[in-house]
Amino acid sequence: MFSEVDVTEMIRFRDMIREEYKQDDTVRISNNDLIILATSRALKRHPIMNTTLVGDEILQHGSVHMGIAVALPEGLIVPVLRDADQKGLLEIAGEARELARKAREASLTVDEVTGGTFTISNVSMFQVDGVTPILKSPETGILGIGRVKVKPAVYQGEIAIRSMMFVNLTFDHQVVDGAPAGDFLQTVVRYLENPYLIMS
């Protein structure tokens, strides 16, 4: 499933946090950090998406262990940010950056690359508009993130310049049907378009 998202408010929210912490070199907030936060919160509202299929059994997980795909010269690796649903934005940003650093230095432990319950694959750094990511078995879903493009869009009934981004959900039809998967994607989109809702 694909959806185009107006992330103008998300970008504004990100910039506001960057301005608040501009004197602190340890705080660096990215779009991906906000996407991890929004997706983690959405998974708590749609627990069928935070499952794994083991044999014929669907295992529902109480916590969100978010896989974050990292592209390396020798291939793709997916470190896992554990208990992402229980962490705030600054905590997510710090841990995600540390996992990416360890991935580039080939120093990830087995525990840091196993046990994921959902994955995000962000290809925005390649200037790609959209992606159809391959599901990472035994997880039920993976979210693909394209680049943010500033372009004309309809906003409140008028043409305006907005920051737009495509998101794609690949999901396992053995576990979840299209309607509940679509409901989940709709929640992710709503959180990205209205980032203050994430805090509710």
Within 8 A by CB and 6+ apart from 91, the residues are none
Q: Is 177 in the active site?
A: yes
Q: Is 46 in the active site?
A: no
Q: Which helix (H) or strand (E) holds 185?
A: helix 178-193
- Candidate list 24, 85, 177, 183, residue with the active-site label: 177
Q: From CA 83, how far away is CA 80, in angstroms rounded?
A: 9
- Candidate list 25, 56, 111, 173, residue with the active-site label: 173
User: How big is the chain, counted in residues?
Assistant: 200
Within 8 A by CB and 6+ apart from 136, the residues are 67, 78, 116, 119, 142
Cβ–Cβ < 8 Å for 140, 53: yes
Please identify every residue annotated as catalytic: 173, 177
